[in-house]
Amino acid sequence: MINRRHFLSQAGSGFGALALASMLHRHSAAADSAAMQTLHHPPRIKRVVQLFMAGAASHLDLWDYKPLLEKHHGEASDFGEHVEAFQNGLGPWMKSPFKFAPYGESGKMLSEVVAPLGECVDDIAFVHNMVGRTGVHSQATYLQATGFQRPGFPGMGAWVSYALGSINDNLPTFVVLPDHRGFASNGPKNWSSAFLPASSQGTAVFPQRDDPIEDLLPHAKFATQASDAAGLAMLNRINRRYQSQRPGDSRLEARVRSYELAAAMQLSAPEALDISGEPEHVLKMYGLDRAGAAYPSEINAPEEVEYFGRKCLTARRLLERGVRFVQIWSGNDNGFPRRNWDSHEDIARDHGPLARGMATGTAALIKDLKQRGLLEDTLILWTTEFGRMPSTQAGKGRDHNPYVFTNWLCGGGIKGGVTHGESDQWGYKPLDRDNPTQVYDIHATILHQLGIDHTKLTVRHDGVDRRLTDVHGHVLTDILA
């Protein structure tokens, strides 16, 4: 049986030697190489973090302050037009149950539940006029994750991995940190490679599990460090012999290399995921200073802080070691009791703890990346599948609002403290209905910052040159620094 701790202490063994072979060969033909040999233009960033709030986080209760709702709270809502609600969300206007206050030099109004991000608002560009195409969770999640509202398309991280390949062969290129309580709508299809090579798919990492990465280490009594070292060396010899007898087939060489890379990953990954060596002040910043704390069964902020903080700290460690794309999920499938953002019943109950958890971890990640000089070439996107209605559903909750919601971007050549596009006075639709922002524009902007022209990154699949942005997308040049 081999455990993670052993791995951290045995870099000099035979196993380590094979890993070393891989590290020395880093610049030879990697198994997971990039599709794009040259970029379309000089890149501003190398890495991307995508924070995805599953269940549809309310723009009105986090980022998009609406004084008019305070004024007309409790009055019958009137949208001035026919509105198709997903459920029965056309009750009275409802102000946010949370207080708003200005932050930073920009004076951006933020909800008290995301107050920790107040220190970061001057690095953030908000997009308050996002529009979706559907109020159905599954389709909307697909749309934001893959650019298509149907299954069968690669996630943004898969496209980026496919195009740019790895920075560090010893770790996966695209890492996903799912909510440990369960997958969001569509599960792993949100980060699948679909028609791109399997090497571009997201690798799910569960920091709290015994096996944070599936199959990283063998769990069997007969598998020991010595057996694995000798076995891999033997396999290497036999497979090389097989390869040498079959010249002219580069796949056989690549397969030998893939075992060397695997050995290297066995060394690198446990180290990358081990946060025990982080100094106390860093752990505290991420809200991870209450080791072993017990939590009540109801949803609560301290617990959410710890869960999300752990993912954010893990993300930082992965990013600084060369993982190119990290996707962090908050919220599981849209069931009960709610551990997701789909607050049909009670905004305060779910959004409160979830937002405090998200904001603490996210603020720590931004500040931590900044102090390490990594925020310059790392772009962070905060997103969700759609927004929520300014009216109630007869209770304290809000129905789906695919007509407007908020995204924000931070770091990596993004202008801070600005807003691109406003929602209307109620937060019901974009203020300028003719010029909304769509997911294609966000995706186009992120690809642009990576040095990729979103119209040129195409893969022919079943007769169509597929793009992440389909036939849409404009780079949001006004938020670029």
Partner 1 sequence: MARPDWNWYLKKRKTGSPVPNRLAAGNNSVGRPFQAVVNGADSLERPFYTREFMIQRIILVVVLASGGLNITDRSAYAEDLFRDRIAPILERRCVSCHNDRQQEGDFSLQTAKSALADGYIEPGDPESSHLLDLITSANGKASMPKDADPLSAEEVGLIRDWIRAGAVWPEGLRLEEAQVNDFDWWSFKPVQRTDVPFSDDPWVRTPIDAFILQRLQDKGLTHATEADRRTLVRRLSFDLIGLPPTPEETQAFVRDPDPQAYERVVDRLLDSKHYGERWARHWLDVVKYADTCGYDKDKLRHNAWPYRDYVIRSFNENKPYARFVQEQIAGDALFPGEPDGILGLGFIAAGPWDFIGHVEVPESKIDGKVARNLDRDDMVSNTLNTFCSVTIQCARCHHHKFDPFTQQNYYGLQSIFAAVDRAERPYDLDPDVEAQRRKLDSQVRDLKAELAALQKEISDSGRPHLTELRTQVTELQKQQQVRKDPAFGYHSAIAKSRDSVKWVEVTLRQPADVSRVVLHACHDEFAGIGGGFGFPVRFKVEVTRDAKDNGKVEWITIADHTQRDFPNPGLMPVEIECPGKQIQRVRVTATQLAERKNDFILALAELELRNSTGHRIDLANDAQVTALDSIEAPVRWQKSNLVDGKWALGGDSALDQHLKELTGELQSLLAKIETPQRVQRRETLTASIAEAETALKALPSGKMVYAAATHFAPQGSFRPTEGKPRPIHVLQRGEVQRPGDEVAPCVLPLSPDADWQLESGLSESQRRAELARWLTRPDHPLVWRSIVNRIWQYHFGQGIVATPNDFGRMGAEPTHPQLLDWLASEFRDGGQSFKALHRLMVTSSVYRQSSDNNEQNAAIDGSNQYLWRMNRRRLEAEEIRDSILSVSGALDPSAGGPGFYLFELEHPQHSPHYEYHKFDPGIPASHRRSIYRFIVRSQPNPWMTTLDCADSSQSTPRRNETLTSLQALSLLNNRFNLVMAERFAQRLQQQTTALEDQVDLAMQLTTQRRPEPEEHREFTDFARQHGLTNLCRFMLNLSEFVYLD
116: preceding bond cis by omega (within 30 degrees)? no
3-state secondary structure of 221: coil
- Token representation of residue 335: 């069931």
Tokens of 85: 């609600």
Instruction: Specify which residues 380 forms β-bridges with.
Output: 49, 410
By CB under 8 A, tell whether 25 contacts partner 1.
no
Question: How many distinct helices (H) and strands (E) make up the chain?
Answer: 11, 14
97 binds partner 1 (CB under 8 A): no
Nearer to partner 1, 31 or 45 (CB): 31
157 contacts partner 1 (rule: CB under 8 A): no
CB 290, CB 306: distance < 8 Å: yes
| Residue 237 contacts partner 1 per CB under 8 A | yes
Between 125 and 217, name the residue whose CB sits nearer to partner 1: 217
Largest CA distance in the chain: 81
Residues 261-300 that bind partner 1 (CB under 8 A): 261-262, 264-266
By beta-carbon proximity to partner 1, the closer residue of 37 and 435 is 435
% helix, strand, coil for the chain, step of 5: 35, 15, 50
By beta-carbon proximity to partner 1, the closer residue of 101 and 238 is 238
Pick out residues in 110-149 that bind partner 1 (CB under 8 A): 133-139, 141, 149
Q: Does 216 bind partner 1 (CB under 8 A)?
A: yes
From the number of C-beta atoms within 10 Å of its C-beta (0-12, 13-18, 19+), residue 251 rates as exposed
The one among 251, 372, 425, 478 contacting partner 1 by CB under 8 A = 251
Residue 21 near partner 1 by CB under 8 A: no
Establish if 194 lies at the interface with partner 1 (CB under 8 A): yes
Minimum Å distance from CB 65 to partner 1? 26
Contact 28, 360 (CB under 8 A): no
Do 217 and 7 meet the contact criterion of CB atoms below 8 Å apart?
yes
| Sole window of 57-65, 241-249, 274-282, 365-373 interacting with partner 1 (rule: CB under 8 A) | 241-249
CB atoms within 10 A of CB 55: 29
Q: Rank residues 278 and 345 by Cβ distance to partner 1 and give the closer one.
A: 345
Sole window of 41-49, 246-254, 350-358, 422-430 interacting with partner 1 (rule: CB under 8 A): 246-254
Name which position in 9, 292, 294, 336 contacts partner 1 (CB under 8 A): 336
Nearest distance in Å: CB 235, partner 1: 5
**Least Å from the CB of residue 105 to partner 1:** 29
Query: Phi and psi for 154 in degrees, rounded to 5?
Result: -70, 145
The answer for residues whose C-beta is within 8 angstroms of residue 293's C-beta and 6 or more apart is: 302, 306
Interactions with partner 1, residue window 369-388 (CB under 8 A):
none
Quick check: 67 binds partner 1 (CB under 8 A)? no
Q: Is 214 in the site for partner 1 (CB under 8 A)?
A: yes
Among 12, 80, 296, 463, binds partner 1 (CB under 8 A): 463
Which 8-state DSSP code applies to residue 396? B
- Residue 348 is a binding residue for partner 1 (CB under 8 A): no
* CB burial readout 220-249, b (16+ within 10 A) else e: eeeeebeebbeebeeebeeeeeebeeeeee
How far is it, in rounded angstroms, from Cα 365 to Cα 313? 7
Piece of 279-287, 356-364, 405-413, 471-479 that binds partner 1 (CB under 8 A): 471-479
CB of 113 to partner 1, least distance (A): 21
Q: By CB under 8 A, is residue 29 in contact with partner 1?
A: no
Contacts with partner 1 by CB under 8 A: the residue count is 99
- Say whether residue 195 binds partner 1 (CB under 8 A): yes
The residue among 318 and 380 lying less far from partner 1, judged by its C-beta, is 318
At a CB cut-off of 8 Å and minimum separation 6, what does 297 contact?
none
Interface residue with partner 1, options 235, 372, 425, 433 (CB under 8 A): 235
* Residue 5 touches partner 1, criterion: CB under 8 A: no
Which segment (65-73, 234-242, 309-317, 351-359) binds partner 1 by CB under 8 A? 234-242
The answer to whether 326 and 319 have CB atoms below 8 angstroms apart is: yes
- Find the binding residues for partner 1 in span 169-188 (CB under 8 A): 169, 172, 182-183, 185-188
SS3 category, 330: strand
Question: Smaller CB distance to partner 1: residue 80 or 248?
Answer: 248
CB 160 within 8 A of CB 450: yes
DSSP summary character for residue 202: P
Nearest Cα residue to 131 out of 118, 140, 122: 140
Query: Smallest gap, in angstroms, from Cβ of residue 366 to partner 1?
Result: 30
Cα torsion 201, 341, 387, 363: sign: negative
Among 118, 231, 413, 417, binds partner 1 (CB under 8 A): 231
